[in-house]
Amino acid sequence: MDKALSGIRILDMSHVQAGPTGSQLMAWLGADVIKLEPPTGDITRGQLRDVPNADSLYFTMLNCNKRSITVNMKNSVGKEVFIELLQKCDVVMENFGPGVLDRLGFTWEKVNQINPRIVMASIKGFGSSGPYADFKAYENVTQAMGGGMSTTGSPDGPPFVSGAQIGDSGTGLHLVIGILAALHQRNKTGKGQYLEVAMMDAVMNLCRVKWRDHQRLTRGELSEYSVPTEGLKATPRSGNDSGGGQLGNAIKCKPGGPNDYIYVVVQEAVWDALAKRIGGEALAKDPKFATIGERRKNQDEMWRLLTEFASNYTKRELMAVLNELDVPCGLIMSTEDLFNDEHVKLRQMMVELDHPQRGKWHNVGMPIKLSDSKVDIKRSPLLGEHTDEILKEVLGYDDARIARLKSAGAFSAPPKKSA
């Protein structure tokens, strides 16, 4: 069965997380993703290892459904192989530091000359232009620079990074959108193009509602925040406030463990039923909570009453109570909760795979569900596992030519010089 991206071939030079997140999604959608690695491999193969001499989970969880080829880009014969691969691919992806590919002789202009139809998709920390262009970037660095950290955490505490990888994986998602748009345009014009996503830019885009609030501050305080905002010039940290039109917060439940919380959104339409369940008619008629405006003014007391009520229930018991009242709510789900959750299993969002080095392991499943493009998740490739296969199938090389290229060092690191 044809997949959504069947017929698209991607030469994926990206490494670590941002690029591989995007290329893995496209591989799941049916693209032939050729992971081009240096002879030493993607650095994450050896980072945070939990099984000796095996690819780490850091690598395996970001590189499923890909084929791996090793190419020595510092070797003249290796560069020739790279050029031929460019001619056979629709997309080339990279997230090297600024200028790395240029120094190897492959500027966008050169790549475009080799294959005028190719889309070159680049991830940079801060973009290829501007005062920050040469800065090094990591996940948390770009969360800091993009506005995520300044708006996350308790109002009276330090800024926090998000557990969701909005800098790396968030950028990878933006890159996929750009690639698909560029391919669509190429189908009309016949021309490829260069596209770039900066991690800082992606974080800023994911903080869109905080830019909404930043501009609202110029016209007065933000009544939905539980912290004072009058006179502020920047969107503050607001703890677990919903930050939306309806009040929301995390409520502690019994027995009081680190994840024994439920997030509750108090909509206008559900307040009467919720108030009656918590405090009877007296609370439902209390003028301090009669309207959303009054509840915003007195939300600290409202959350205190909800927390007292919640102390009698576990988070799952309270979710059942609140769902009966049609109150929007959600469990604070730990990784253990999610790993064993029936809903997650039903949605195939935790998939068991087998790896020749590390054995059984689990990967997060495909979050995009297409009715006519079934996703079969396959394990990540071993380093260089498909080198010969790709050379024969994609480039049409015979065994003799492959042997000559190997002896010339096209796919391996040069031997270390003895001291």
Q: Give kind and range of the element (H or E) at residue 68.
A: strand 66-70
- Give which of 251, 310, 246 is closest to 278, Cα–Cα: 310
Q: d(Cα 62, Cα 417) in Å, to the nearest integer?
A: 34
Q: d(Cα 315, Cα 251) in Å, to the nearest integer?
A: 9
- Give which of 105, 46, 32 is closest to 73, Cα–Cα: 105
Q: d(Cα 45, Cα 82) in Å, to the nearest integer?
A: 22
- Give which of 228, 233, 265, 230 is closest to 249, Cα–Cα: 265
Contact of 296 with 243, CB cutoff 8 Å = no
Identify the DSSP state of 219.
Answer: G
Q: Give kind and range of the element (H or E) at residue 256.
A: none
User: What does DSSP say about strands 194-198 and 66-70: parallel, antiparallel, or unpaired?
Assistant: unpaired
Let me know if 63 is exposed, middle or buried by CB neighbors in 10 A (0-12, 13-18, 19+): buried
End-to-end CA distance of the chain: 56
Q: d(Cα 20, Cα 62) in Å, to the nearest integer?
A: 6
The residues that are catalytic are: 168
- Give which of 262, 268, 379 is closest to 319, Cα–Cα: 262
Q: Which two tokens stand for residue 294?
A: 């009054």
Can you tell me which residue has the tokens 């475009």?
112
User: What does DSSP say about strands 359-364 and 247-252: parallel, antiparallel, or unpaired?
Assistant: unpaired
* Other CB atoms within 10 A of residue 94 CB: 20
| 62: Cα separation from own chain's centroid | 10
- Give which of 160, 167, 159 is closest to 138, Cα–Cα: 167
* Other CB atoms within 10 A of residue 376 CB: 11
Q: Which two tokens stand for residue 355?
A: 């790896």
